[in-house]
Structure 1
């Protein structure tokens, strides 16, 4: 039982060492993450769409022959 108590004392000690960001920094970092996710979404949709058109083109050529 003492190991569990020591563990939670360590957690409490480490929790007090956390430096939380201020509101302005948090908003900036959140905006960067959302912007990065939006760019990735656009890239993934673009690659997916291009791949879909390429597969449809190839299967159309195969079906015609």
Structure 2
């Protein structure tokens, strides 16, 4: 019987944690669809631009190193 009580006590904090998590999710103010689309487009665009910038810099450094090595 004592072992059963210990297991029950171990499960109690998980329930409290889940209830707390649910309460926090209810506090979230979710963006509307238009805002979500605008922000998604901005993130994807900036990521693409930065990716191209890094690729150009990387290619330039590679060409410079090949020039130095030869």
Do they fold alike, i.e. is TM over 0.5? yes
The gaps in structure 2 that reach 5 residues or longer are 1-10
TM-score, normalised on structure 1?
0.85
| SS of residue in 2 equivalent to 1:19 | coil
TM-score (norm 2): 0.80
Please state if 1:2 is matched with 2:7: no
Corresponding residue number in structure 1 for 2:61:
51
RMSD over aligned Cα atoms: 0.8
Structure 1: 4+ residue segments shifted above 3 A: none
Q: Are 2:48 and 1:38 aligned?
A: yes
Aligned residues: 60
